[in-house]
Amino acid sequence: MCVALGLLCFAGSSALGQATPLRVTINAKAGLQYDVVRFEAKPASKVELKLVNNDDMAHNLVLTKPGQRETVANAALALGTEGDAKNWVPDLDSVLFSTPVLKPDSSHVLRFITPKLPGVYPYVCTFPGHGLLMYGAMYVGVPMPPLEKDGNVPEAARQGKTEARQFHAWGEKRPLMYRIFMPEASPAAIAVALKHGQNYCWDAGQCRLRYAWYGGFVDPWPVWRGNGHGLAKVLGTKYWESDVPGSIKIGDSEAEPKFLGYRKVDGQPEFHYRVNGVDVYELITPLHSVIGIQRSFRIPNNTKPVVLPVGPTGRVAFEHSAGKLKDGLLALTAGEAASFTVSIGLIK
């Protein structure tokens, strides 16, 4: 259908055959971003748009009619199990052109004729959950406003954050963790960037997950620029924040948890702490098809019942592999708790 529309435009234009197409290359980057968040094109002109996927997860690019970005992204989500077969492109008139879903390190060239009607035509990654952050706009026959005032590009790009500052000798990498002063956490906080633009804050002072966000990681500069005064800034959208205080509870004791460190598993920390004399191991990994994280717990050598505060569970896609959930608390038997997972997904 998109192709048909393109052909229609082509057929209706006379001088197009000779014109050199406008060539645009857009890279999909880590942290759910396109590196080019906007470009200008003339009405009814040829465009060769090359999408290069430099990220470690799948992405596509869908051009929509003006104002239809969110509608299209939400309709893609609703495809559910049919999504993969359709490249996550919904059957809607508001979809103009689209690439297939590109695996990491692949590219695709989309050739099309821009619409005759001047306007701002959004493009968006409709892979589930990505559309919230990963989008841009094609300006057809209308001038672009200053970037910092452009409501058609993501907030991070408006703030000039697309070019991430290099803080280390290794450039950008995920997973990555910082022990650093964080907002809404104790001074012994840990910030972790996982793959797929997933991030979380875990509190080594209280041995518990504090919040999770998607998008960029943190700006450590407020802490690192000088003597450590300041807090790292979360560069993304927080979608879950613990509202049930306290660490995991083992048995009846109200004993304070004791942080014992972590082991790096594929670059991701598996936290180790001790509660009421029992060793607990917690590994947090990204979910794959949707925005979200999975918490994998191991509590070997335990004979006591376990209660894990997991709230809030209402506004996220919360899943647990074992136990009974009530009022933000997950209750497990010692057997269930030996190895279990809970996941927090953005999309309900």
Partner 1 sequence: MKMMSVLKTFLTVVGLVFVVGLRAAGIGDYYSIENIAMPKGLDAQVGGLDTMPDGRLVACFHRGEVYTYQPKTGEWKLFADGLQEPLGIRAISDREVVVMQRPELTRIIDENGDGVADRYQTIHDGFGMTGNYHEFAFGPARDAKGNFYVGLNLASNGASIRPELRGEFRHYGLDREGFKSKSYKGPAGRMYAATPYRGWVLKISLDGNMTPFAPGFRSPNGLGVDLQDRLFVTDNQGDWLGTSKLFHVQQGRFYGHPASLTWSGDWKKGRNPLKVAAGEFDAMRTRAAVLFPQGFMANSPTQPLPDSTKGRFGPFAGQLLVGEMNRSRIVRVMLDEVAGELQGACVPFYDAAGLTRGSHRFVFGSDGSLWVGQTHLSWVGGEGVQRIRWNGKTPMDVQSMKLIPGGFQITFTKRLAKSTHVPDQFKFKRYYYEYRQGYGSPQNGTEAIKVAGSKRLGDEKTMMVYLDKMNPGYIYQLDLKGVEAEDGSAVVNPLICYTLNRLTNGDDKAPHLVRK
DSSP-derived secondary structure letter, 252: T
Q: Which amino acid is at 337?
A: A
Interface residue with partner 1 among 204, 218, 283, 306 (CB under 8 A) is 204
Planar angle of CA 146, 121, 77, nearest 5 degrees: 115
Task: Give me the least distance between CB of 262 and partner 1, in Å please.
Answer: 5
Beta carbon of residue 35, minimum distance to partner 1 (angstroms, whole number): 20
67 near partner 1 (CB under 8 A): no
The footprint of partner 1 on residues 132-191 (CB under 8 A) is 166-171, 176-181, 185-188, 190
* Beta carbons within 8 Å of 87's beta carbon, 6+ residues apart: 60, 98, 99, 100, 101
**Nearest residue (CB) to partner 1, 259 versus 297:** 259
Binding mask 207-226 for partner 1 (x = CB under 8 A): -------------x---xxx
Interface of this chain with partner 1, residues 280 to 339, rule: CB under 8 A: none
Residues contacting 246, CB < 8 A, separation 6+: 206, 208, 309
Of 25 and 186, nearer to partner 1 (C-beta) is 186
Residue 168 or 348: the one with the smaller Cβ distance to partner 1 is 168
**Smaller CB distance to partner 1: residue 158 or 274?**
274
C-beta closer to partner 1: residue 108 or 274:
274
Provide, rounded to whole angstroms, the least separation between the CB of residue 56 and partner 1.
Answer: 19
Q: Min. distance of Cβ 175 from partner 1 in angstroms?
A: 10
Give yes or no for a contact between 190 and 179, defined as CB atoms under 8 angstroms apart: yes
Closer CB to partner 1, 51 or 193, in the complex: 193
| Cβ-count burial 248-269 (b if 16+ within 10 Å, e if not) | bbbbeeeeebebeebeeeeebb
Q: Do β-strands 135-140 and 38-41 pair in parallel, antiparallel, or remain unpaired?
A: parallel
Query: What are the tokens at 155?
Result: 């907030």
Task: Name the minimum Å distance from CB 287 to partner 1.
Answer: 23
Question: Would you say 273 or 318 has its CB closer to partner 1?
Answer: 273
Phi-psi region of 96 (alpha: psi -120 to 50; beta: other; left: phi over 0): alpha
Q: Scanning residues 225 to 284, which ones bind partner 1 (CB under 8 A)?
A: 225-230, 259-264, 269
Site for partner 1 in 108-137 (CB under 8 A): none
- Say if residues 329 and 312 touch (Cβ distance below 8 Å): no
The two beta strands, 22-29 and 46-53, are parallel
Handedness of CA 64, 65, 69, 74 (dihedral sign): negative
Q: How many residues interact with partner 1 (rule CB under 8 A)?
A: 34
The residues that touch partner 1, with contacts defined as CB under 8 A, are 166-171, 176-181, 185-188, 190, 204-205, 220, 224-230, 259-264, 269
